[in-house]
Amino acid sequence: MLEIGPGLGTLTIKLAEKSKKVIAVEKDHVLVKILNKELRKNNIDNVEIIQGDILKIINSKQLPGNSYNKVVGSLPFYLTSPFIRQLIETPENRPLQMTLVIQKEVAQRICAWPPGMSLLAVSVQFYARPKIVSYISKKSFWPSPKVNSAIIQITKINVNKKINSREFFKIVRAGFSRPRKLLISNLSKNLSLDKIKVESWLCKNNIQPDQRAETLNVEDWIKLIKNLKIK
């Protein structure tokens, strides 16, 4: 189990009772000292504490590959998107499941369906299946944050090996480059393709040229990548 931001260790202790091993990553050195004390007090010896920034730790490969299969934690807004993508896009970092507490609005964006899709939603849903388990009021925390939170669970994490992810996201980013513009305009401009060719390409896949990127689901984007080779 990999826990992000264990803080005072309330959840860490419960996880340690259920897991063979817990790797707890905490950035605050003061909280690391408190956590060590709590673990000793409760006679817990299957928790490894790593002090530092989780993204830097992952990028520098300080965590050995396949050292965990589940991830839990409470993530600040700025960390949510890069953290999730870093784990699910990199084979050696990829867990079987993630259960995270994140900002309510971000959770809703990740789990969105057409016509409310976003680049973030497509990025996560290409690799995995996210769902919101429940919502948490900001009043449940101390000190109380300014926003409400949600518990999100991400499962079925894998890679579609039949799809070139680099080409897939090149098309997706082109489609979302100007969210309020039509697909035909965005794809033509950002992929340097003739609008007539783009219109034919879209229609061939039962997508109307006057649709916007937010109306397409992951399967729609996969159909598009299968019908056009981007150089």
The 10s digit of each residue's pLDDT in 88-131 is: 887 777 899 999 999 999 999 999 999 999 999 999 999 999 99
Query: Which tokens in the block code for residue 205?
Result: 């896949």
Domain-ending residue, one of 105, 125, 155: 155
Share of the chain above pLDDT 70, in %: 97
Q: Do 25 and 134 fall into the same domain?
A: yes
pLDDT at 231: 47
Q: Do 122 and 54 fall into the same domain?
A: yes
Q: Which domain holds residue 176?
A: 165-226
Structural domain contains residue 231? no
Q: Do 123 and 151 fall into the same domain?
A: yes
pLDDT at 64: 66
Domain-ending residue, one of 123, 155, 187: 155
Number of domains into which the chain is organized: 2
Do 183 and 137 meet the contact criterion of CB atoms below 8 Å apart?
no
Q: Which of 85, 87, 103, 111 is CA-nearest to residue 25?
A: 87
Q: Do 34 and 138 fall into the same domain?
A: yes
Domain CATH number, residue 87: 3.40.50.150
Structural domain contains residue 17? yes
Domain-ending residue, one of 122, 155, 188: 155
Q: Do 138 and 114 fall into the same domain?
A: yes
Structural domain contains residue 105? yes
pLDDT at 44: 96
State CA 25 to chain mean position distance: 18
pTM of the full structure:
0.88
pLDDT at 161: 67
41-62: burial string, b at 16+ Cβ within 10 Å, e else: eeebeebebeeeebeebbeeee
Q: Which of 167, 92, 182, 180 is CA-nearest to residue 126?
A: 167
* Rounded mean pLDDT, 82-90: 87
Structural domain contains residue 90? yes
Q: Do 103 and 43 fall into the same domain?
A: yes
Q: Do 102 and 178 fall into the same domain?
A: no
* 182, 176, 77, 20: CA torsion to nearest 10: 130
Q: Do 147 and 189 fall into the same domain?
A: no
